[in-house]
Structure formats: structure tokens, C-alpha cells
Structure 1
């Protein structure tokens, strides 16, 4: 069927009306210009997903999600604590309670830093368990092989199995008596592959002589690995600063330096573990000024919905600048400098190679990174983008951070 076009409505105007319109238009000076267009509305703030750097390396790292071999960081973590001694180095009588108490503060750290989102339940062996071989048969030194480590853990599990129920255990902790100094340090494995009481055990930490010096923070550091966090100290010191294995983050995160003055986990790692929420992350974009009022990182898990914990400014698909507020509260009570701690996160960098690097506000100072935070009233310019970050003091230890691209 052929469709007919509808007739166009008449646009005829009465002559008088047309003349009036012509006169009105003619009254406008020839030099007048059209009104400028209204300003463009500001761009919408980026979604928090724009700041959630995707994991770009396998294993332990700083991207999202954490490694699929990691234990859940939210909920209940059930740990078996096996106290072991040896024929050549038997434990002192009555020393078992001291060994349990020495590590208990590490479990408390995890619960406090998680804001109560992780509950750690520990079941200890009934006294010391005698290992089947002398301590010297386990070659504990840096570079301990996977096979020797698994043999040590397997021997401990087998020695305890008659009196210990492993059927409902998530992670095995093996601590050696302090009478055995050649069990020197405390490595972790997320690939144990041992079955006991019908339970396939995959995660274990063995505690050596270092935990008798540093206490429960060794447990908290090594447990960070079982939850998926990387080492933040450097496996190789930088050529320009040989011997400084802590040149990347100093003592500003427990995954970097156990004895550091500021051992709180970075806000970034709390986000990775689900210990702070998306609405606590302020994602800054490249085309608008962004401001946030940050609570001290030690209080980021307090029951205050939406409390800002950090500002994230993406630099690329794998890199971002992060700002958090460090104040002498919580596990940071011993820090000497306070203010805005600025660091870069690179999700393409492996554990021990510097996936996180702190920006030093006082480069060249005698205190290294101990005085790295930017004081209230100062600013910093990101060198690759030119974005200016300013820091101002707020009430109750809060810090106002503004990012101006």
C-alpha cells in the first residue's frame, strides 16, 4: 500500500505580526553576540571499581581478588596450635603455657585490626609433642625447601594425631620450643597437602626462634600470608642502598617490618581482605577535584558506616596512589610522625619486589621512612600526572585530603 505524506501545517503569519517580529529583531544591535553556552556539569565521581586494581600476578599480591589459595579473612578462622620439642632439645618443664601466651597476642591483633570481622579460635595441643627426629634433621635456614618444610609440618601433625582432632581445622600452627635455637625462623605455606582425621589441610605456619623475640606479631605477619597478603620488605635491597631491605615501606605495615613503630595493616590491605567497605574508599578521578575526611587507619573498622578510610587515585590499570591517615592510636601508638601517609600500589609487582612503596615527605632525612607522613598543612604533587594532593587537619584526629588533578 502506498502511504501518502501528511500535509505540512501552514506557517503563514498575519502581516502585522510578521512586521512586529521584524522590528523587534531589527532592534538588536549588530554587535551583540549569542549568549555563551551553560557550563558543562562536573563529571560524575568514578565508581569505586575504577580504584579496585585487578590482580596482575599469581600468588600473593596487592590486587583484587586475593589469591584463590588464601583463607577467608571474614568469619571464623580455626587454628590448631601444636607445641613441639625434640630429643636433642626438650622443652623446659611447665613452659607450654608461655608458648601459647606468646602467640595469643597475634590472634588478638588479627581480630582487632579486622574490626571484629575475623574471629580466631585456637585449640592448642595438650602440652609438648615430641617430634620423631632431632631438631638438627630439619634444615631451617633461609631458603628452606618446600619438601623439608612439609616434612617438618607432617611430622608434627603425625606426632599429635593420636590426641588431637584435626577434622575441623583451617590452619595449622607449629611452634618449636625456645630450647631449639636451630629452628630459626617462621615460614608459611598455603600448599601443605596433608590429610588428618579426614580433613585436607592446606595452610600452615611454623614458628621458630624469631617468635620468641618478636612475640605474637610474627603470627600476625605470617597469618597475613595465609590470608593472601604479600611481603612488603624487599627480598633484594636496592643497589643504591645496599642492606636496606625495608626501603619500600619502612615500618608502616606489619607485612613490611614486624618491629616497626607503625605495624597497623595498610588501609589498602584491609580493603583487600574485606575489613573495610567500598563506601569507605574515596575514589578520585582525573577530571574533578575530590575531597575526603579520613579517620585514623587504626579506627577504620569502628562501627561507623561510611567512615572514610582512604583516598585512591588511579594512575594506570595496575597502579594507584593511596592516602591514609596515620595517628598514634591502636597499634600505631608508637609512631613518631603523624599525618597523611602516601604510598603507591602496583598490582603487577610480586611479593618481596615492592608492590607497595611509601612516598617520603622528607627524603634524605636521617630517620628514613619513619617520618614519611605529610603533616597537616602540607601538600604533594604526583609527578606523573601533576595532580596536587593537599592535607588539612580535622577534628578528633581526622584528616581532610583534597586531590586536584
Structure 2
């Protein structure tokens, strides 16, 4: 992440044996490794859906990577709280759990229009690791052997209390005040080969090293990775410069600090939260589209109307058009309008699979609140027209309806 501003009742010995054997492969751990998985057909994707590639967290959505849980139902998440011999926790597990829930569950409930429910199951007590916090070398770019040692100890420690077969998502939450804990190290660790524990495969674990209180929306971001969503920020190779040049405030996978952090409509399409009828596939010529603001709650019993218009620009790229307004997860936005962005299926997580196109490149907005002011005023307003650079695609915002929807003319 970028940094800017119940016991299961399973016999202890048998459970420790089950996890111990799995850890013989921990040298294969990689925090950002590609986890292969079976393709699951998505017949509702349509002709504008990009093909899923081998890129880590590819934004192709013609099929679903079966190695990841798809958040279209209720998923259960266990929170294991880890303490260390070199520090006695000064906060309770309940207080730390309250840093993240119910806020994270509410974020996803709003983003999914109530189609997905994330249920946390926080453990009631701290589980003490066998070594001091300073022994694990915890940091953002973690040495693989140190990370493997931490996870080996964490799973063995947790396995005494937790039946992993009961959960879809696993959070290991470290004592925020332990001397060796680095808040910059919070991330999802993927396993090249799953760990077998309690008869289930652990393919990834969210390792949380946040301060108390934590960064805003940090667990929503990390949980997004559990659902195969990519990092949308740009990490400078020298560690200097701005991280938010790709998407600015406009998606939590870009920045957990964003003013409008709701997930892009493309992400919601991928996750199954938008139906095919809510995505307009734009053909050649001119066409009119009525786009409902992305974060607006649909009426009871309704789908909420069209949320996304897509123009294919090649075998691996597309232009996406959606409306953003001040509601739901986007309630703190300082600008509203029609947002245009480019999607590509080949770039891996962190490589710019989505880039917001700035309809006002000579101006910026919200310099006191935005994570990247040049993109804070990227959306088109009523009466404005934008031609996509390098493409014969023009987007014109003709009107806004009394309900807040935008009438958009797209010419290709």
C-alpha cells in the first residue's frame, strides 16, 4: 500500500501437523506472485469484455479466475490478532477490530448495491507469536525468508484456536504498537502453492500491520486484492514522486485516501455486481446513453439502470465511460460528472491497467483534499465535449436528468 498523508474444536496436534507439512513450500512465497486458477465462464460479459490474460490481477473479465473467491454472496472473514513477546498490547482485539469493521463491510455493501456481504469473525484474544516482533524484519519490501518465517509462525499460532475451513478470507492483524511492526508492510501475501490447513487450501492471507487508528479504507483496498483486483497506483522506481498519477481519487484500489473511492464500474462488472443489461457496448457511429451515477443506490427491486458504457479500442484495450456523483462511497467527492478512463488487460497490478483521462488537463481541483489534484477535476460536466487522445472517440455530456443521471452522446 502507498503511504501518503471462536475456537474450532479441532485437535491441536493433528492441526499443527496439517499446517506443518504445507510450510515445506514456504520458500515459494511471493507477495505479488501470480496465482493460477481455473477459468470460470462468465456468459454475461458481452462483446466489449476484454479477455483475461496471465497478468497478475488482469482486468480481462470474459472469465473469472477460480483461484479467488468471487464476492457475489456472503463471505466469512476471520481476524486473528497476533502479539509478540517483546511488547504487551495496550489495546484490545475488540478495539483493533473496530478500526476496520463495520466500516469495511459497509464499504463493500454500498459498492455492491447489497449483492455482497463480508462478515467478520474477530478472535477475542491476542495469540502470542513465538519470537519478538523485531525478529521478523517486517517492512514493505520484505525479505522472502523473513516473510515466510512470520507466516509459518502465525499459521501455527493461529491454528490452535482457528478452524480455517470455516472462512473464506483470513486477516492476520499484528499488535499495532509492537516495536518491529511497520505499517507500510500491510499487504496481501499470495502463495505459489496453497497451504493446506484444516482440510482447506489457504491461497492468500491479508497481513495487517496498521497503526491504531489505521489508514482510511486500508482494509477495503487489501480485501479488493483478495477478490483479484489490481493496484491502480503508480509506484515510482526510485521511491520518489507521486503515486496517484494513474487514477487519482477515483478508486480505492488506487488510493485508500481518495475522496471518491468507490470501485470503478469496470471493477463492479468484473466482480459480478453489474448485470450485462447495465453495460452499454458502444458500436460505430453515434449513440445516446443515460448513465446513472456509480455510487447511487438503486431503487428497491430495480437494477439502478445503466452504469457503464464501453468502447473497444483493440483486442486488449477499451475506453470506459461512467458517471460519478456525491453519494455512497463517493460522498466526499468535490467534483461530479462523467469520468472517462482507459482499461487494458495486459498490464499487471501496479502497471497501470486503468488510467483516468483528464477532461481538464490544464486545471486541477481540491488541492487541500485530493490525493492528486490534476485528476480531481477529470470528469466532464454538462455541455462539455471530450475527444479521447489517439482515438476517434468523442464523448459529449448533453444533459442531466432530475434523478441525477447524465445523458451522454458517444461518437466513434
How big is the shift at 1:161? 2.2
Gapped regions of structure 1 (runs ≥ 5): 1-46
Contact 1:309–1:324 under 8 Å retained in 2:
yes
Post-superposition Cα deviations, 1:130-163, rounded to whole Å, max 9, x if no partner, equal: 1111111122212114443343233222212222
Distance 1:260 1:237 in 2: 22
Question: Does the alignment pair 1:232 with 2:232?
Answer: yes
Residue of structure 1 in register with 2:188 after alignment: 188
Residue of structure 1 in register with 2:349 after alignment: 351
Distance 1:150 1:238 in 2: 26
Contact 2:77–2:121 under 8 Å retained in 1:
yes
Q: Residues 401 and 301 (structure 1 numbering): CA distance in 2 closer, same or farther, change over 3 Å?
A: same
How big is the shift at 1:314? 0.9
How big is the shift at 1:253? 0.2
Residue of structure 2 in register with 1:285 after alignment: 283
Match of 2:53 among 40, 49, 56: 56
Post-superposition Cα deviations, 1:281-323, rounded to whole Å, max 9, x if no partner, equal: 011012x322111111012666423610011111111111111
Question: Does the alignment pair 1:264 with 2:262?
Answer: yes
Residue of structure 2 in register with 1:135 after alignment: 133
Residue of structure 2 in register with 1:390 after alignment: 396
Gapped regions of structure 2 (runs ≥ 5): 1-43, 365-372
SS in structure 1 opposite 2:219? helix
- Superposed, 1:167-206 pairs within 5 Å as 167-180=165-178, 182-184=180-182, 185-191=185-191, 193-206=194-207
Q: Residues 327 and 69 (structure 1 numbering): CA distance in 2 closer, same or farther, change over 3 Å?
A: same
Residue of structure 1 in register with 2:312 after alignment: 314
Distance 1:210 1:337 in 2: 31
Larger radius of gyration: 1
Number of residues of Structure 1 aligned to a counterpart in Structure 2: 354
SS in structure 2 opposite 1:126? strand
Distance 1:365 1:180 in 2: 44
Distance 2:310 2:358 in 1: 18
Question: Does the alignment pair 1:371 with 2:377?
Answer: yes
Contact 1:254–1:264 under 8 Å retained in 2:
yes
Q: How big is the alpha-carbon RMSD for the aligned residues of Structure 1 and Structure 2? A: 2.2
The structure in which a higher percent of residues are strand is: 2
User: How does the TM-score come out when normalised to structure 1?
Assistant: 0.82
User: How does the TM-score come out when normalised to structure 2?
Assistant: 0.81
